[in-house]
């Protein structure tokens, strides 16, 4: 154990500047993401009263809630980026929350895409839409299911709290953990891609309606897929390489660990972008948000309109 700690400290010292940068990025994501998500969820509760709102609002609320709960654990992650020793209990709780809330964020993102897919592509399938409209029950089911599937993260540390510990021996718990990890990212990604392609095709077929709104809808659908791919796929593929660490040289292992940790930082960016893509993309929600938190922008816009009217 002492030798492992020594190796760990050597690796940290060699990459001190890099991991301070990683830690700084995580802290910045934590501050910006928490402020934005809390303001959005406050709007859901105070103005929209989401529990009385449309189906999509309940899913959006749960998406933002999952992102907030994920962000809360980021200070611990930032600390672990700079330290070799850690409290194992705190580490496992942080990993459990990380996996639970990231999984919930991805799950609600996927459900929202499926709901929009049936609403746009198959509006006549009322039975399926009726099932999807049971959003409170679906939301509870998602949280309970993910809580059960995330238990392996508490039994054994996933990957490591700091990335320099030795790999674990294969076991049934580790295998289950890896299956959950990959399926909760790859399957939703393919679902998102399929739903997005079908929605875009359907929107392109529409000959009536506001063309600006149609283009905006297609841009949003495409952006969601791109953000998901950028945030989650790099660190997923790097995890595949990590699982093959036994077949590469020690120097290559260290390089892969550094790359993986960098992609972990990138994945947290999703928590910052979700409120923008899913909430502020709605003109109604955007107006409410600006009027509540950024009223000066609304006054500026009204002043510009008044000036234009005066010039005419």
Count of domains observed in the chain:
1
Domain with 64, as residue range(s), is 2-290
User: For position 86, which CATH number holds?
Assistant: 1.20.1070.10
* Percentage of the chain modeled with pLDDT above 90: 13
Going from the C-alpha of 29 to that of each of 77, 95, 277, 278, the distances in angstroms are 12, 18, 16, 18
- Using the predicted structure, report yes or no on whether residue 55 has a pLDDT greater than 90: no
73 lies in some domain: yes
Token couple for 51 = 């529990």
Please give the mean pLDDT across all residues of the chain.
77
pLDDT tens digits along 180-192 = 888 889 999 999 9
Number of neighbours of residue 201 by Cβ within 10 angstroms:
12
pLDDT band for position 2 (50/70/90)?
very low
Task: Give residue-wise pLDDT tens across range 202-258.
Answer: 888 776 566 677 777 788 888 889 989 999 999 899 888 877 765 444 555 678 888
Give domain status of residue 296, yes or no. Answer: no
Residue 36's closest CA among 215, 272, 209? 272
Examine residue 306 and state whether it is found in any structural domain, yes or no. Answer: no
Let me know if residue 15 belongs to a domain.
yes
Q: Is residue 271 part of a domain?
A: yes
Q: Is the pLDDT of residue 131 over 90?
A: no
Least confident residue range of 11-15, 59-63, 172-176: 11-15
Residue 312 lies in a domain: no
Indicate whether 99 belongs to any domain: yes
154 in any annotated domain:
yes
């Amino acid at each position: 154990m002492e030798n492992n700690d020594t190796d760990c400290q050597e690796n940290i010292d060699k990459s001190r500047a890099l991991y301070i940068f990683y830690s700084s990025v995580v802290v910045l994501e934590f501050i910006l993401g928490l402020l934005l998500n809390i303001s959005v969820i406050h709007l859901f509760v105070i103005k929209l009263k989401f529990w009385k709102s449309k189906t999509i609002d309940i899913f959006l609320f749960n998406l933002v809630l999952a992102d907030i709960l994920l962000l809360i654990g980021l200070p611990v992650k930032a600390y672990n980026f700079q330290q070799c020793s850690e409290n194992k209990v705190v580490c496992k709780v942080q990993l459990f929350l990380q996996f639970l809330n990231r999984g919930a964020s991805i799950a609600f993102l996927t459900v929202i895409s499926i709901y929009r897919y049936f609403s746009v592509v198959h509006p006549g399938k009322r039975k399926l839409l009726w099932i999807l409209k049971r959003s409170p029950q679906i939301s509870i089911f998602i949280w309970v299911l993910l809580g059960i599937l995330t238990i392996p993260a508490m039994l054994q540390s996933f990957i490591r709290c700091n990335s320099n510990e030795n790999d674990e021996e294969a076991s049934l718990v580790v295998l289950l953990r890896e299956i959950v990890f990959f399926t909760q990212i790859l399957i939703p990604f393919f679902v998102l891609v399929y739903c997005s392609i079908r929605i875009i095709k359907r929107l392109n077929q529409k000959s009536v309606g506001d063309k600006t709104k149609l283009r905006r809808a297609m841009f949003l659908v495409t952006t969601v897929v791109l953000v998901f791919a950028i945030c989650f796929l790099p660190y997923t593929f790097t995890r595949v390489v990590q699982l093959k660490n036994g077949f590469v040289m020690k120097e290559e292992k260290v390089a892969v660990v550094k790359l993986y940790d960098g992609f972990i930082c990138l994945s947290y960016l999703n928590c910052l972008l979700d409120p923008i893509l899913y909430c502020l993309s709605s003109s109604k929600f955007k107006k409410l948000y600006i009027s509540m938190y950024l009223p000066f922008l609304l006054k500026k816009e009204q002043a510009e309109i008044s000036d234009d009217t005066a010039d005419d």
